[in-house]
Amino acid sequence: MAIRYGTEEWVKAACEATNKSQAYKEAAKNWEGDMYFIVEPEGTLKEKIIMYFDLYHGECRAASVVKDEAEKTPAYRFWAPLGIWRQILEKKLDPVQAMMTGKLNLKGDMAQIMRMPKAAVELVNCMLTFETEFPE
């Protein structure tokens, strides 16, 4: 059964999948930094979705949907319209390439991300281990 993208259930499934992935643990063993994935409204999606992930040394320590960006102060904020996130999760767009071309916006230490591009790819791979239903 597909899990609706951007819901609390989806975020928890992504965190759980991340914690089960040996490839992610290895790729992100030196990663430190929590983050927001912000989905901007597009199509039938009328409200912004803010997903919080606390990623630390190859582990997802916490994950949730937050209502207000001021709720937490993550080290990184990634934002893009729903269509870009969907392309990334459908493997039609590489997450690092999306950042480099400005399709996926970033506030945070870009140099840190560029030192560990495999961690970004493996994080996406974790999110592909379960079926996602996207808003149209």
Going from N- to C-terminal start, the domains of the chain cover 3-127
- Secondary structure class of 42 (helix, strand, coil): strand
* Integer angstrom CA distances of residue 4 from 13, 103, 109: 11, 23, 30
Rounded-to-integer distance, Cα 127 and Cα 117, Å: 16
- Secondary structure class of 44 (helix, strand, coil): coil
User: For the segment 13-59, what is each residue's pLDDT rounded down to a tens digit?
Assistant: 999 999 999 999 999 999 999 999 999 999 888 999 999 999 999 99
pTM, two decimals, is: 0.94
User: What are 120's two structure tokens?
Assistant: 């970004």
Q: Where are the beta strands (DSSP E) in the chain?
A: 3-4, 32-40, 49-56, 59-66, 76-81, 105-107, 132-133
User: What are 88's two structure tokens?
Assistant: 């990334």
What is the reported pLDDT for 1? Answer: 85
Rounded-to-integer distance, Cα 60 and Cα 71, Å: 19
Rounded-to-integer distance, Cα 99 and Cα 111, Å: 12
49: left (phi over 0), alpha (psi -120 to 50) or beta: beta
CATH number belonging to the domain at 3-127, selected among 3.20.20.70, 3.40.640.10, 3.40.50.2300, 3.30.1050.10: 3.30.1050.10
What is the reported pLDDT for 43? Answer: 86
What is the reported pLDDT for 136? Answer: 74
- The DSSP H or E segment spanning 57 is none
